[in-house]
Amino acid sequence: MKRFKHIIIKVNDQTKPELDIAVLRGIELASKTGAKITLFDVVEPHETILSSYADIVSPAELTEFIVAQRLDQLTDLAQQLQSTGLDVSVNVAKGKNFIEIVKAVILNKADLLIKVANKSEKSFDSNDFHIMRKCPKPVWLIKEAQQDTVKKVLAAVDLSMEQHAEGRAQNRMIIDIASSLSQYKGAELTILSCWSLYGEEALRHGAFTRVSPAKVESLLKHEEREYQESLNILVNEYTQCKFEQILAKGNPKTIIPAFVNNKGIDVVVMGTIGRSGIPGFLIGNTSESVLQAINSSVITLKPENWVSPIY
């Protein structure tokens, strides 16, 4: 986690700042790495307010009052943290929540965003998905119910991306972050990747194919060996870490969520860009399906030079 030099913490306005789990995690990380912290929040202006306010304050004035109040709260906390030797600044923006959060990461040249995941009936709400899709830097979304528990960390890597320099760099960033997190939290680390044989069902059962079962099995064994060799090459770069490596046959859309939810994984570290290379394709279909189906906190990231559509 030493790669993070400037951390933006989106402070949860539903709790006291000093009790916000995102703040506590950010402080802990900055204390260990010497990173700078920016305490950040967003006030979304309302175009209209209650009619009973009409003779008291305008919508714009009320927004400014709320911003000033929030700024005072965060400044008080920043001053407390500064007294412990941490480098802490404060910023409160006005505007659309996810847009201002991503802009803050870009404008401040931060390299990590930490926030509490919004409560949602599903895994993450639309605002958090927007952030994961559009933020160019790693995003750590913490499920509030987990509090400070990080006992199991999963690095989900895509070995098919090892064919390209950008994909290789992303896989290594995933393991770098996951291994660092597991080490500084004393957590178990698992490195998981999935594999499959393209067109297996068509080869076995297609009406127009003439491939024997023995040949299909031979192809499967060859494909598995190729993936296992690729995984071995990748993990051999991390001999200083203790981890379990798993190569699972099947679709990652089902394999990863099942593993995460059944094994009680606390944090999943994964990429959010697919292999399509289609301009404007901001989040991989596989990644989105996984994120919609897991109950854990996540750290999502993109290739190093990926450019956000915001700002």
Give helix then strand counts, H and E, for the chain.
9, 10
Is the separation of the CB atoms in 22 and 13 below 8 Å?
no
Q: What are the Cα distances from residue 89, in Å, to 6, 75, 78, 258, 286?
A: 11, 8, 7, 40, 37
Distance of alpha carbon 31 from the chain centroid:
21
Strand 297-301 and strand 188-195: pairing?
A: unpaired
Strand partners, 101: none
pLDDT at res. 210: 74
pLDDT at res. 279: 41
Q: Mind listing the pLDDT tens digit for each residue in 40-98? A: 999 998 766 655 566 677 778 888 999 999 999 999 999 999 999 999 999 999 999 99
If pLDDT is split at 50, 70 and 90, which confidence band does 268 have?
A: very high
Q: Is the pLDDT of residue 282 over 60?
A: no
d(CA 104, CA 171): 26
Q: Is the pLDDT of residue 117 over 60?
A: yes
Identify the helix (H) or strand (E) that includes residue 66.
Answer: helix 59-82
Half-sphere exposure of 145 (CA within 13 A, CB side): 8
Q: Is the pLDDT of residue 224 over 90?
A: yes
Q: Mind listing the pLDDT tens digit for each residue in 124-176? A: 999 999 999 999 999 999 998 766 689 999 999 999 889 888 889 999 999 99
Residue 229 CB neighbours (<10 A): 11
- Tell me the mean pLDDT in the region 250-260: 95
d(CA 90, CA 94): 14
- Tell me the mean pLDDT in the region 228-245: 95
For the whole model, what pTM was predicted? Answer: 0.91
pLDDT at res. 62: 83
Q: Looking at the domain covering 145-311, what would its CATH class be?
A: alpha beta
pLDDT at res. 280: 39
Domain ranges in the chain are: 1-116, 145-311
> Locate tokens 């999963």: which residue?
154
> Locate tokens 């071995």: which residue?
232
- Tell me the mean pLDDT in the region 234-248: 95
Q: Do domains 1-116 and 145-311 have the same CATH topology?
A: yes
Instruction: Write phi, then psi, for 281 (nearest 5 degrees).
Output: -85, 90
Q: Looking at the domain covering 1-116, what would its CATH class be?
A: alpha beta
Half-sphere exposure of 116 (CA within 13 A, CB side): 22
